[in-house]
Amino acid sequence: MAENALLQSLLWGFVSSLSLLLGAVTGLTFRLPRKVIASIMAFGSGVLVVALTFSLLGEAFRSSQDILPLMAGFVAGGFAYNFANLLLGKVTGVPRRRRPDGEKKSTDAAAPPGLALLVGSVMDNIPENIALGISIVAAGTANPVLAVAIFLSNYPEALSSVEGMKSDGMSKKFILVSWSVVVAVGTVASAIGFALLAGSNPAVISFFLSFASGAILVMLIESMIPEAFREGGSQIGLATLAGFALAFVVHHFL
């Protein structure tokens, strides 16, 4: 039974992360208008808001029926992502995000800006997929809303990041191999989330579910939503609304 659940976590981790590679392939093959990419990103943001609220925080409270581990994990997750975000900017010498048009903030960056964007995508994907694995521990099966949210948010992130990687002169082979590695990392992260917490105390499960929720919320506010608004303008508000509405309906009926 445990082996089947572990395989399930690997499968769902792979499926939700696969959109990163699909986004990279799309970015290498086509040059989509920035407003289209921004709208997809905003739509995914709306879905993630539902996922972190109902699928993660809701499940965290049902798991322990205690608000203390929930809020401790939520705050810790937010601070952890914020710190990692700031650290990445200092190490690479470039902002966590930048416009995907090749504009570079510094020519003396410690790492190529395109590569920094890829590292940032890994940083986003790990807590999301760990949360997916934990949701299997908490509910016995993967949460479909969370899986769809991760899939939808990953696609535009890779799509926009590839633009920066191409402008840095990286080859198509290097880009595809890099994103394949990111998919593998996301897949393993989901299994790790399941393996570490299988059989754990409900309060511990609650803490880590809410930890992932806090990290995802701060990621949305610091990264996805500002980037979507910068590229898409006011229309991204309606795209976010559409993503939220669809995810809420799916959550309600499932």
The Cα–Cα gap between 228 and 14 comes to 25
**Integer angstrom CA distances of residue 49 from 31, 118, 243:** 28, 23, 9
**Integer angstrom CA distances of residue 139 from 18, 39, 64, 108, 202:** 23, 32, 12, 48, 11
Position 18 scores a pLDDT of: 93
Quick: pLDDT tens for 77-103: 999 888 887 887 777 665 555 444 444
Residue 163 has pLDDT above 80, yes or no: no
Residues above pLDDT 90, as percent of the chain: 19
Position 14 scores a pLDDT of: 93
Quick: pLDDT tens for 164-193: 788 778 889 999 999 999 999 989 988 888
Evaluate whether 121 touches 224 at the Cβ level (below 8 Å): no
> Residue ranges of the domains in the chain?
2-26+34-253
Residue 92 identity (one-letter amino acid): T
**Of the ranges 125-129, 161-165, 217-221, the best mean pLDDT one:** 217-221
Average pLDDT over residues 130-144: 77
